[in-house]
Amino acid sequence: MAVVEELLRSEADGAISFGNHKLAQKAKVEDYEHAGDLLKVKTFREITKLEKNGMFLYESVPGTSVTDFTEKENGVEFTVEGDEDAQITVGLVDDTEYQVFVAGKNIGTMKTGLGGKLSLSVELEAAGEVPVKVEQV
């Protein structure tokens, strides 16, 4: 299982891993420096939330554990794990279309609104780790 014991860590390839969907109590890490940015994570079994430089980047309900989260010029990519199916929201570019892939399958094109948020559902119950990729069209 991919629970992130440190709650937030930098990976050797420049990605980050964060969240712990097994925690019964809320936990957070603030002012974590990564690649010149300040990150903040709040996590427990009910919600996982990540901010970068005070701006929204990721949220899941219920909580999830995320590994190899990478922001790219044209989107994001990560692997997610949880005990239940999750509603995941990622912060991207305003008013932009994205192609979304879950577990290697193209689930379609989605468009962000003025807030730049894109929401998707991921079936996690008994699925183990599920790769998610969101690319600008």
Mind listing the pLDDT tens digit for each residue in 45-60?
Answer: 999 999 999 999 999 9
- pLDDT (tens digit, 9 = 90+) per residue, 95-114? 999 999 999 999 999 999 89
What domains are there in the chain, each with its CATH number? Answer: 8-136 (2.60.220)
- What secondary structure does DSSP assign to the chain, as a single string? ----TTSEEE-TTS-EEE--TT-SS-EEEEEEEETTEEEEEEEETTEEEEEETTEEEEEEES--EEEEEEEETTEEEEEEE-SS-EEEEEE--TT-EEEEEETTEEEEEEE--TT-EEEEEE--TTT--EEEEEEE-
pLDDT grade, residue 2 (50/70/90)? low
